């Protein structure tokens, strides 16, 4: 157990057998959690239990197995809704991931509501999931896309935001925690500005919901998205929160079975929320296991998760700064960050750095992290990124730093 840390990391690590893996006798140091987190036994067991004990399609069978599967899948929506402060399952659509949630709103709301006189406001630190999606909505509808700039030290320029968001703005889409800079953005302030101009706001919570308490009602967002696989859950499942009255007014995104109420050869009407947005057989096992992941995190306590991540980010910032020849991106105050640090070792390409790290069994990501325009703005093609989760320790960050030293020697 790490001192001054509310998390019992040693105990938590027992739930993640993959962390015991060794490469050439070296235990893996998994620091690529912003890409995907590892999955605890409890979540894997929820998946096996479903397939071994009550595998059936949902919403359509009156037999016992289908009833059990339907109840578990539906209740999973309540659990995930409650986790982010949504009013109930009506406000929680299960999607494949954050990307699909962005596309759902872009297609269903954006293509129907926007025109050439309208504006969409994004941030310069958007992930491609939001940036490319709204950019394409702009191209299809004629709406203009504008970007809130970032300051030198990696924060959103909120004065510029107040000027950019106007009565012509219909949608503000902003990343809550940047997956490249780590910056925690003031989403509720942006929501206030958006709402003052009768615009809607979409919060990208892919890097926020896993790492800190999130309450969509406190943030006052209209839409908010996140991915199960970044928060100890399985792949193939994510959540889209939407305010009930807005979701009610929206057209379905995908058509087909399950999302209808009544179909004739001429007409169809739609099912209740959230099923109106979940056409076809959904990711049943993944949805049920998503709720298990949420319960796992709730047991740990999201305040504790946030404190642990901030502590690791602070330690990483300190250790990397001491090296002297490291460029670090994003805010230097760890309290303004999620649990990740993107950086470059001067004179060494990020991919080479990640590859040398791999020789020491240290797993980090190198690349543009799906934020190409942001990397262009930073003047680099790529960066190395270490990202932390509930099972990571300061000792693992020490290993990261040792591996950087090895890379420096190799390239000297």
* Active-site annotation holds for 100: no
Catalytic residue among 342, 370, 378, 407: 370
Contact 239, 94 (CB under 8 A): yes
Sites of contact with ligand 7TS (CB under 6 A) = 34-35, 97-99, 127, 129, 175, 179, 204, 206-207, 227, 365, 369-370
Contact 236, 259 (CB under 8 A): no
**Which CB atom, from 33 or from 108, has the smaller least distance to ligand 7TS?**
33
Least separation in angstroms between CB 262 and ligand 7TS: 33
**Which CB atom, from 243 or from 369, has the smaller least distance to ligand 7TS?**
369
Taking the C-alpha atoms of residue 256 and residue 280, their distance in angstroms, rounded to an integer, is 6
Taking the C-alpha atoms of residue 34 and residue 153, their distance in angstroms, rounded to an integer, is 21
**Which CB atom, from 233 or from 274, has the smaller least distance to ligand 7TS?**
233
Distance linking the first and last C-alpha atoms of the chain: 37
**Which CB atom, from 141 or from 179, has the smaller least distance to ligand 7TS?**
179
Residues 6+ apart with CB under 8 A from 76: 94, 287, 288, 290, 291
Least separation in angstroms between CB 177 and ligand 7TS: 7
Least separation in angstroms between CB 161 and ligand 7TS: 18
Least separation in angstroms between CB 213 and ligand 7TS: 18
Least separation in angstroms between CB 393 and ligand 7TS: 22
**Which CB atom, from 40 or from 233, has the smaller least distance to ligand 7TS?**
233
Q: How far is CA 186 from the centre of its chain?
A: 16
Taking the C-alpha atoms of residue 97 and residue 30, their distance in angstroms, rounded to an integer, is 22
Least separation in angstroms between CB 269 and ligand 7TS: 30
Residues 6+ apart with CB under 8 A from 406: 356, 359, 360
**Which CB atom, from 89 or from 127, has the smaller least distance to ligand 7TS?**
127
Least separation in angstroms between CB 331 and ligand 7TS: 16
Taking the C-alpha atoms of residue 78 and residue 179, their distance in angstroms, rounded to an integer, is 27
Q: How far is CA 153 from the centre of its chain?
A: 23
Angle at 47 between CA 45 and CA 49, to 5 degrees: 65
**Which CB atom, from 121 or from 175, has the smaller least distance to ligand 7TS?**
175
**Which CB atom, from 179 or from 211, has the smaller least distance to ligand 7TS?**
179
Least separation in angstroms between CB 56 and ligand 7TS: 27
Residues belonging to the active site = 370
């Amino acid at each position: 157990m790490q001192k001054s840390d509310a998390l019992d990391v040693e105990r938590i690590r027992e739930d993640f057998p993959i962390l015991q893996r060794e490469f050439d006798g070296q235990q893996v140091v998994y620091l690529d959690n912003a890409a995907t987190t590892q999955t605890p036994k409890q979540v894997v067991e929820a998946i096996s239990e479903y397939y071994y004990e009550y595998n059936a399609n949902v919403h359509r069978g009156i037999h016992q197995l289908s009833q059990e599967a339907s109840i578990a899948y539906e209740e999973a929506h309540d659990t995930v809704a409650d986790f982010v402060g949504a009013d109930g399952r009506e406000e929680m659509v299960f999607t494949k991931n954050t990307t699909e949630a962005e596309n759902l709103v872009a297609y269903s709301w954006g293509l129907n509501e926007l025109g050439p006189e309208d504006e969409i406001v994004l941030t310069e630190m958007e992930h491609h999931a939001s940036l490319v999606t709204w950019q394409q909505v702009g191209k299809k509808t004629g709406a203009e896309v504008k970007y809130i700039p970032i300051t030198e030290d990696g924060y959103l320029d909120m004065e510029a935001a107040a000027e950019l968001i106007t009565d012509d703005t219909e949608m503000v889409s902003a990343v809550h925690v940047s997956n490249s800079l780590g910056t925690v953005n003031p989403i509720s302030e942006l929501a206030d500005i958006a709402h003052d101009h009768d615009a809607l706001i979409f919060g990208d919570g892919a890097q926020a919901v896993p790492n800190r308490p999130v309450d969509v009602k406190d943030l006052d967002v209209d839409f908010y998205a996140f991915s199960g696989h970044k928060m100890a859950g399985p792949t193939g499942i994510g959540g889209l929160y939407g305010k009930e009255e807005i979701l009610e007014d929206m057209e379905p995104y995908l058509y087909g079975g399950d999302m209808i109420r009544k179909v004739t050869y001429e007409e169809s009407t739609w099912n209740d929320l959230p099923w109106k947005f979940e056409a076809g057989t959904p990711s049943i096992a993944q949805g049920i296991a998503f709720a298990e992941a949420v319960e796992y995190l709730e047991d740990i306590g999201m305040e504790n998760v946030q404190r642990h991540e901030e502590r690791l980010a602070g330690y990483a910032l300190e250790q990397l700064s001491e090296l002297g020849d490291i460029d670090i991106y994003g805010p230097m105050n760890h309290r303004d960050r999620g649990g990740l640090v993107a950086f470059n070792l001067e004179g060494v390409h990020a991919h080479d750095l990640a590859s040398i790290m791999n020789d020491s069994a240290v797993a980090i990501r190198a690349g543009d992290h799906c934020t190409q325009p942001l990397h262009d703005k930073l003047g680099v093609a790529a960066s190395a990124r270490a990202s932390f989760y509930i099972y990571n320790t300061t000792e693992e960050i020490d290993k990261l730093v040792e591996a950087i030293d090895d890379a420096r020697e190799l390239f000297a």
